[in-house]
Structure 1
Amino acid sequence: MSDPLGPRVRRLFATPLIELDLPDSAALNAALVQVIAARRATHGGISRSNVGGWHSDTEMAQWGGEAGRRVALEALKACGAYTHDMGMKGAEPRFQMGVEMWANVLPAGAVNQHHAHGGALWSAVYYVDDGGDRDSGSLVLLDPRFPMNRMYSPDLVFAENGEMEETTVRIAPTPGRMVIFPSWLMHGVRPHAGPRERISIAINVVAIRARK
């Protein structure tokens, strides 16, 4: 039992990370595989943070069909539940939430370099296919305080109950799961090494001033 008069640790200013598993994701993912393959067959893709692989245009909310719309709506619903407008007066919202969405297809060896999403409020990734290897191709989130927390004593880190504080968090790709985080949080994807292509959908949720 801890000493009630002993030191207490309060962790301040946490970075929110939202994870949710979509119901009936097997059928949803099968439909997404088809619609992404169809788009890929007619569009060469663009180059952003990806090194290798195929990055679609950011208009998947328009060409993604019913399956794509469901992913977009799930992201909007989750982000809306964790967003509060401090200047809102009455019941009329001052902002509308919009999305830009794209598909990422990574063959073995492909990665996404670390980056953030300027101009957006929330960012999300939805996993369609882990490529047959959940131990590779993980999403890597960087501590936003880095390198400040390593500047003076790089070998000394905060520890509590024997657990050391980490400067990175890795999240394995899990089909049917959506991971949401603030758009300013630096993130990337480790090299994929599976026998199949790793397929995911990235989403930016943007706040747009509502028209009066």
Structure 2
Amino acid sequence: MAGETDDLRHRAVARKTRALRKYEAGAEPTGSDGGDPPVEMLSPFGPVMGRTRVPAALVGRLNEFADRSARPGGSEFLVPPEVARVGGEASLVAVIEDRLRRYVLAAEGVAARRVVIDQIWIVSQVAGTPSPVHFHSGDLSGVLYLRSPEPPAEEELRKTYISGRQAGHLNFLTGGKQRFARTLLSVPPEVGVLWTFPAWLLHGVEPFRGPGERRSLSFNARADVDD
């Protein structure tokens, strides 16, 4: 009986340790200034994000559905289960679940016991349409680009999100202007690229100028792990 009690206690401690370890950053340097002695640079804090690609055939199927559902001038609509599950192991649901499982394992060091996709939707935007800064529900979210507008003018690319660039970029924010810290990531829309990130991470889309459509797919999901 005493042995069983000790075993249960040890396992409880181990579970708690694993649950808390995911919040600890590593001390590995990201680079050095090359001096003597060197000053090693570390950037241990902040959310973990994933960037990957999806098959072109999947993008094509989703665009065929969106072409039938999008309205002129921009619109937002849900992706129904019968569309999301077409293709079996190559379906949208299968791809999202695969990428999220890999993300969880890389970010937390433990496999997801279950991944549940709550909702999938597509946003079609035209010139001048922004998406204000917001966060999502659930544990994880993602953005997959299905169509991008024509490349912006060079003068717009030279600007920044803060200075009023209008290039349709997706902007992630973890804080305001802070010295010695990077708090903003701005990425252009690239067809076939899927970003995965914590649902609480603030993000928004700046408007773009010129012809074309910015078409993206987003989702909310929950990932359960064994502590």
TM-score, normalised relative to structure 2: 0.65
Residue type at the aligned position of 1:140: N
**Larger Rg: 1 or 2?**
2
**Counterpart-to-counterpart distance in 1, 2:188 and 2:35:** 37
**1:131–1:94 Cα change, 3 Å:** closer
Match of 1:125 among 143, 157, 161: 143
Matches within 5 A, 1:97-112: 97-99=115-117, 100-112=119-131
Report deviation, 1:112: 0.9
Distance in 1, Cα, partners of 2:131 & 2:87: 24
Give 1:196-207 correspondences, 5 Å limit: 196-207=212-223
1:3/1:197 CA distance change after superposition, 3 Å: closer
Task: Say if 1:129 and 1:200, in contact at 8 Å, map to a contact too.
Answer: yes
Percentage of pairs with the same residue? 22
Q: Which residue is 1:66 aligned to?
A: 86
Distance 1:102 1:67 in 2: 18
Match runs of 1:165-184 below 5 Å: 165-184=181-200
User: Does the alignment pair 1:187 with 2:203?
Assistant: yes
SS at match of 1:128: strand
Aligned positions, number: 177
Decide whether the 8 Å contact of 1:32 with 1:67 is kept in 2.
Answer: no
1:61–1:113: structure 2 CA closer, same or farther, 3 Å change rule? Answer: farther
Letter aligned with residue 195 of structure 1: P
Q: Distance in 1 between matches of 2:193 and 2:128?
A: 23
More helix by share: 2
Note the aligned Cα RMSD (angstroms).
3.2
Moved over 4 A (4+): none
By relative contact order (CA 8 Å, sep 6+), the higher-ranking structure is: 1
TM-score norm. by structure 1 comes to 0.70
- Please state how far the C-alpha of 1:63 moved relative to its aligned partner: 3.7
| 1:155-182 C-alpha deviation (Å, 9 max, x unpaired) | xx21xxxxxx433111110011111111
Residues 31, 67 of structure 1: 8 Å contact kept: no
CA positional deviation for 1:34: 1.7
